[in-house]
């Protein structure tokens, strides 16, 4: 766990990142693992664009949402095959992540992750990229209700003693924006993952960006505490 930011006259500020599609480029590996899960039970997988739209949601619920006619045994088989097939090593860190995380830490921010994946997989991904000590709060869907339920954000704010108006959620999907809205937290949408700019705006993003290098100044503005 990263060390707490140094005290200053600024309020405590917290940046929560989604993981898949925001911090890491995992879509190829996730979609391939999901497709192979359906094929393992001799069932045609859903269209790729539908699979991509569910990335970040709790796994079992996402699978049922995509294929409501699945039996319980079929659901269990797809989930088990997915977990066995998904290779953490295939996840690529988005360009600029290390620099942005480093700058935020230097400026005294708390940094966290709110993700639909399980804690074991998140820990493995962070360790693989030497980022295990870079985050103050790790919120996963196997320990809280999944997105768009606000509980993961509420847990992080409570854990670190930060108010909603000094917190920001950054994500690539509409359920990230919805979670932020449900928690009363400003949201920043990013376009290098699942969501397009207009879609993220409609879902509640106050700002939408196309490049990681633009994040730090926007985060400072979003967490200034002036939002009502």
Lowest-confidence region among 22-26, 96-100, 103-107, 153-157:
22-26
Place of tokens 């939408």: 208
Rounded to two decimals, what is the model's pTM?
Answer: 0.76
**Four-point Cα dihedral 65, 70, 73, 74, nearest 10:** -90
Q: How confident is the model at residue 50 (pLDDT cuts 50, 70, 90)?
A: confident
Copy the structure tokens of residue 88.
């953490």
Lowest-confidence region among 41-45, 58-62, 133-137, 181-185:
58-62
Q: Residue 141 in contact with residue 118, Cβ under 8 Å?
A: yes
Copy the structure tokens of residue 109.
């921010």
pLDDT in tens, 62-94: 899 899 999 999 999 999 988 888 766 667 889
Residue-range domains of the chain with CATH = 14-25+92-222 (3.40.50.1000), 27-89 (1.10.150)
Cα distance between residue 16 and residue 139, in whole Å: 9
More confident residue, 204 or 182: 182
Q: How confident is the model at residue 225 (pLDDT cuts 50, 70, 90)?
A: low
pLDDT in tens, 160-184: 999 999 999 999 999 999 999 999 9
């Amino acid at each position: 766990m990263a060390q707490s930011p140094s005290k200053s006259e600024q309020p405590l500020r917290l940046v929560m990142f989604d993981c898949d599609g925001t911090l890491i480029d995992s879509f190829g590996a996730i979609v391939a693992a999901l497709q192979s899960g359906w094929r393992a039970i001799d069932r045609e997988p859903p269209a790729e664009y539908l699979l991509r739209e569910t990335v970040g949601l709790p796994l079992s619920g996402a699978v049922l949402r995509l294929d409501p006619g699945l039996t319980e045994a079929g659901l269990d088989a797809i989930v088990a095959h997915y977990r066995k097939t998904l290779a953490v090593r295939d996840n690529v860190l988005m360009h600029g992540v290390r620099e942005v995380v480093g700058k935020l830490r230097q400026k005294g921010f708390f940094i966290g992750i709110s993700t639909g994946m399980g804690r074991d997989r998140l820990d493995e991904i962070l360790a693989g990229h030497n980022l295990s000590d870079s985050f103050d709060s790790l919120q996963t869907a196997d320990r809280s209700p999944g997105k768009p339920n606000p509980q993961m954000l509420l847990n992080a704010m409570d854990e670190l003693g930060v108010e909603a108006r000094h917190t920001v959620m950054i994500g690539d999907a509409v359920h990230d924006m919805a979670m932020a809205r449900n928690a009363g937290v400003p949201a920043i949408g990013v376009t290098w993952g699942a969501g397009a700019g207009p879609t993220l705006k409609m879902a509640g993003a106050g700002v939408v960006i196309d490049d990681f290098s633009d994040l730090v100044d926007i985060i400072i503005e979003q967490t200034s505490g002036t939002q009502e």
